[in-house]
């Protein structure tokens, strides 16, 4: 399996999309570190940090910040991770804008310059107001996102022709703006688990979409024999199922960390020294938790957290078995050089992810291992996105 191709066959924007993927990895890693270090509310306001562009550093600034936010005193080891994460995410946003500009410039269509310019000007104004007044003017941020999405949707429905992907970069740009909105709500709604999980999944989705765009811009599908191609067509539904199951497992992992349930089962292979401990699934998967309390540290009782953790473990077993079935099919039944290489990649990433999951428990949940577990989980999603892209774009020789 070849991920990259000669520069003559690549479409414009390939290197930029690849840089976007690298930025997305850093944003995911910083986000995981911020969350796992309990720094999600290291800056209680948004988009500033205690009213600062960076964070308060001098004793005078810290004293002023503590008086302004008496319920959230400054903790220096928690302010900088949050703001560094925000600025890297902002940088990723600029990259997605650049990718969209490349797509627009390469598209052959009549451009509605006046309308689009007006809509984008409104969006810039709303964004500027939001940046100045922060969470007090939260409706303006929602309006900014709405205007942007309407603009991108209008462009997407305009007829045009080009080999350059257009709708995917437009969707990525709209999605990352929405992701920024979830980042704001993560702070303003005080780590409400539903928002934290959605923000985490949004980060994985952004990373996956950027990688999919990179694959499309690389423009090199598998070239297979007639028999192998027919087998691959029959394999498509299993590849899609594999991607869905991995995404569900990632969502379970997000719900686990959002509700601080990772430490609910500190032993292996049992949980709380029992094979089937007491669990409260109704409370553990209650998605109607109210907005208002500070969810830092979690609010669920132990039986609810055990239910979440136990479900994540069972999901890991199901995911592993399904991916091993996919590997067997790719390596033994289809058995082309491309599919065998793909199978090897899946196995290596799967083994690493399972090892990190076990290491979390065996080494008592160190932050470094937990962050690595998040990043390799994202890598596993990318591998499945790659598999599906290769399966659905493969050509017959």
**From residue 240, how far is each of 223, 252, 328 by CA, in Å?**
20, 19, 16
The SS3 assignment for 39 reads coil
Q: DSSP readout, 328-341?
A: HIIIIII--HHHHH
Helices (H), 189-301: 193-218, 226-258, 281-284
Of the candidates 166, 159, 155, the one whose C-alpha atom is nearest the C-alpha of residue 13 is: 166
Using an 8 Å Cβ cutoff, are 153 and 59 in contact? no
Residues with catalytic function: 82
> How far is Cα 264 from Cα 281, in angstroms, rounded to an integer?
14
Of the candidates 66, 158, 174, the one whose C-alpha atom is nearest the C-alpha of residue 108 is: 158
Please enumerate in sequence order all residues whose Cβ is within 8 A of that of 143, keeping only pairs 6 or more positions apart, or say none. 126
> How far is Cα 295 from Cα 258, in angstroms, rounded to an integer?
9
> Is 234 buried (19+), middle (13-18) or exposed (0-12) by CB count in 10 A?
exposed
At 121, which helix (H) or strand (E)? helix 113-133
Q: What is the dihedral of CA 89, 130, 96, 20, to 10 degrees?
A: -10
Q: What is the dihedral of CA 22, 25, 31, 33, to 10 degrees?
A: -110
């Amino acid at each position: 399996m070849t991920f990259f191709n000669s520069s003559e066959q690549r479409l414009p924007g390939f290197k930029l999309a690849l840089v976007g993927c690298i930025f997305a990895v850093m944003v995911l890693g910083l986000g995981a570190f911020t969350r796992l270090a309990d720094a999600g509310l290291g800056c209680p306001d948004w988009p500033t940090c205690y009213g600062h562009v960076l964070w308060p550093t001098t004793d005078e600034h810290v004293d002023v910040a503590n008086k302004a936010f008496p319920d959230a005193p400054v903790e220096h080891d928690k302010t900088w991770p949050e703001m560094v994460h925000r600025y890297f995410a902002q940088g990723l946003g600029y990259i997605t804008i650049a990718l969209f500009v490349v797509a627009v410039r390469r598209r052959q269509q009549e451009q509605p310059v006046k309308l689009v310019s007006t809509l984008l000007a409104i969006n810039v104004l709303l964004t500027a107001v939001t940046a100045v007044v922060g969470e007090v003017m939260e409706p303006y941020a929602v309006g900014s996102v709405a205007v942007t999405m309407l603009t991108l949707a209008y462009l997407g429905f305009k007829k045009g022709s080009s080999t350059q992907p257009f709708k995917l970069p437009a969707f990525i740009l709209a999605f990352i703006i929405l992701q920024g909105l979830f980042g704001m709500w993560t702070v303003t709604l005080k780590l409400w688990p539903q928002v934290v999980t959605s923000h985490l999944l949004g980060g994985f989705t952004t990373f996956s979409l950027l990688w999919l765009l990179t694959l499309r811009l690389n423009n090199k599908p598998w070239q297979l024999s007639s028999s192998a191609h027919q087998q691959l067509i029959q394999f498509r539904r299993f590849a899609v199922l594999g991607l869905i199951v991995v995404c569900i497992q990632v969502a379970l992992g997000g719900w686990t960390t959002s509700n601080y349930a990772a430490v609910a089962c500190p032993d292996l292979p049992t949980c709380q020294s029992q094979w089937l401990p007491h669990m409260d699934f109704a409370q553990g998967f209650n998605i109607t938790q109210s907005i208002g309390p500070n969810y830092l540290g979690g609010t669920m009782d132990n039986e609810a957290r055990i239910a979440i953790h136990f479900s994540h473990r069972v999901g890991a077993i199901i995911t592993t078995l399904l991916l091993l079935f996919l590997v067997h099919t790719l390596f033994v039944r289809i058995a082309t050089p491309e599919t065998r290489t793909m199978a090897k990649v899946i196995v290596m990433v799967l083994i690493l992810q399972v090892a990190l999951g076990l290491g979390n428990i065996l080494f008592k949940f160190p932050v470094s291992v937990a962050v690595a577990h998040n990043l390799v989980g994202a890598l596993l999603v990318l591998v499945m996105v790659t598999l599906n892209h290769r399966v659905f774009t493969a050509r017959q020789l």
